[in-house]
Amino acid sequence: MHRIHSQADWITRARAVLPAAGFGNFDASIVIARGEGSRVWDEDGNEFVDYLIGSGPMLLGHGHPEVMEAVLEQLPKGMTFFANNVKGIGLAEAIVDAVPCCEQVRFVTSGGEADMYAIRLARAYTGKPKILKFEGGYHGMSAEAQMSLAPSKHVNFPTAVPDSAGIPECVADEMLIAPFNDLEAVASLLAEHSDIAAIIAEPLQRIIPAQPGFLQGLRDLCDKHGVLLIFDEIVTGFRLAYGGAQERYGVTPDICTLGKIIGGGFPLAALGACTEIMSHFDKAAVGVEKWLMQLGTLSGNPVASAAGLKTMEILRRPGQYERLRELGQTLMDMQSAALSKQGIAHRICGDPTVFDVYFTETDPIDYRSAKHSDPKLNEIWNSTLRANGVFKSPGKLYSSLVLRTDDLELTRSAFQHAANAVSEYRIRAMSSFHA
């Protein structure tokens, strides 16, 4: 008998009411029914080890009992107030204690919103209009962030290319684009342009690591030219280390943005800086002309704050980050071993806490070099992983603290199946070429 609520039924219903049948985030051909611990299930009951983890926030897994208890304790007291609350204040204190550049924070609802305000804050503080970003760097959905995020055509630097319709041409005039990991290019742009307010960068650009000295080089150049340095730590904050990339790499920006983990799975993000810079959110401190207006219906809401506070408390416990890195390194090694056994050229790129594979013989160092030699190999790799119980993004794998031995063994087997499928495709492609 046909199931009334099969996944196919839900996809049909979604197609009628959602553009491209989805939320714009992920593959619309899968509808997730529930998550528990390290696993998720789709509406047809298929079970997966979850390496998407909500695009990063579920570092402790789905339904962590202590986080659930904190949320359930808060719910009857109120879900949101559009006013100060003790959970939000407590979360701000915890962030300030943890993150080197933060003396004060301002809450928003999403990481993209935090990045938008960080750019605006830099302009308000410096009085300068231009922003330097790196090609391929992801900073949300604002007009500035959508410049040269994933350009399909290569243009000469520092020309900005919009990646979305609906963005006025004038936005590109205020954006300068540089290749990641290229200090010479950055130095040249800063020398040429005296009207740059800030450089915004992911300390780990998607999964491309900064080369030794690059982040400190940015810090030094910003200091030399009177430019602010913004670290987008939406992904890396409380993931690479408790103090984020700033702690991990020992480089402190002027402004940072945080999201994902600080909300414990609920909508919450923040930006932070020293008190002097953050004073632009205080009209009484800076006056009307220098005041940066910011408000949001759910900013700092107590449910998300309670979840974030408990998540951060758990992450402070001894051994958590050591375990996270050990799990991630195990996954990286398993992935590489499966591909090496089949003689498939590849590079495992990223950090043990977030990484993936590129099918290439060269090390990815920037957007233009972070490419697969044949995109079809990545397509086969990811589709075979999903068919064998591994749920991940097409370009990123998040490790989490809730992974168990059986999860790792299932994943090892899936990697082997995927490597075999890639190898078989390559053999067929070579046979067709020679024929």
Which contacts qualify for 249-252: CB closer than 8 Å, 24 or more apart? 249/203, 249/210, 249/215, 250/216, 251/203, 251/215, 251/216, 251/218, 251/219, 252/100, 252/101, 252/219
Which pLDDT does position 1 carry in this prediction?
43
Q: Domains plus CATH for the chain?
A: 65-315 (3.40.640.10), 319-434 (3.90.1150.10)
Q: Report pLDDT digits (tens) over 379-425.
A: 999 999 999 999 999 999 999 999 999 999 999 999 999 999 999 99
Strand partners, 196: 130
Per residue in 235-272, is it b (16+ CB within 10 Å) or e — as a string?
bbbbbbbbbbbbbbbebbbbbbbbbbbbbbbbbbbbbb
Q: Report pLDDT digits (tens) over 99-115.
A: 999 999 999 999 999 99
Q: What is the 3-state secondary structure (H, E, C) of the chain?
A: CCCCCCHHHHHHHHHHHCHHHCCCCCCCCCCEEEEEECEEEECCCCEEEECCHHHCCCCCCECCHHHHHHHHHHHHHCCCCCCCCHHHHHHHHHHHHHCCCCCEEEEECCHHHHHHHHHHHHHHHHCCCEEEEECCCCCCCCCCCCECCCCCCCCCCCCCCECCCCCCHHHHHCEEEECCCCHHHHHHHHHHCCCEEEEEECCEECCEECCCCHHHHHHHHHHHHCCEEEEEECCCECCCECCHHHHHHCCCCCEEEECHHHHCCCCCEEEEECHHHHHHHCHHHHCCCCCCCCCCCCCCCHHHHHHHHHHHHHHCCCCHHHHHHHHHHHHHHHHHHHHHHCCCCCEEEEECCEEEEECCCCCCCCCCCCCCCCHHHHHHHHHHHHHCCEECECCEEECCCCCCHHHHHHHHHHHHHHHHHHHHHHHHHHHHHHC
Q: Tokens 């949320």 identify what position?
A: 71
Crossing angle of helices 86-98 and 302-315, rounded to 10°: 40
Which pLDDT does position 375 carry in this prediction?
96
Query: From first to last of its 435 residues, what are the pLDDT tens digits of the chain?
Result: 445 579 999 999 999 999 999 999 999 999 999 999 999 999 999 999 999 999 999 999 999 999 999 999 999 999 999 999 999 999 999 999 999 999 999 999 999 999 999 999 999 999 999 999 999 999 999 999 999 999 988 999 999 999 999 999 999 999 999 999 999 999 999 999 999 999 999 999 999 999 999 999 999 999 999 999 999 999 999 999 999 999 999 999 999 999 999 999 999 999 999 999 999 999 999 999 999 999 999 999 999 999 999 999 999 999 999 999 999 999 999 999 999 999 999 999 999 999 999 999 999 999 999 999 999 999 999 999 999 999 999 999 999 999 999 999 999 999 999 999 999 999 888 777 655
Which pLDDT does position 434 carry in this prediction?
58
- β-strand 175-178 against 204-205: which pairing, if any? unpaired
Query: Nearest 5°: phi and psi at 261?
Result: -65, -35
Cis peptide bond upstream of 158, omega within 30: yes
Per residue in 192-217, is it b (16+ CB within 10 Å) or e — as a string?
eeeebbbbbbbbbbbbbbbeeebbeb
Q: Report pLDDT digits (tens) over 303-319.
A: 999 999 999 999 999 99
| Of 240, 245, 267, 268, residue with least CA distance to 256 | 245
Give the CA radius of gyration of the chain. 22
Query: Nearest 5°: phi and psi at 48?
Result: -135, 150
Active site residues: 138, 232, 260
Which pLDDT does position 221 carry in this prediction?
98
Q: Quick check: 201 and 230 in contact, CB under 8 A?
A: yes
Which pLDDT does position 5 carry in this prediction?
78
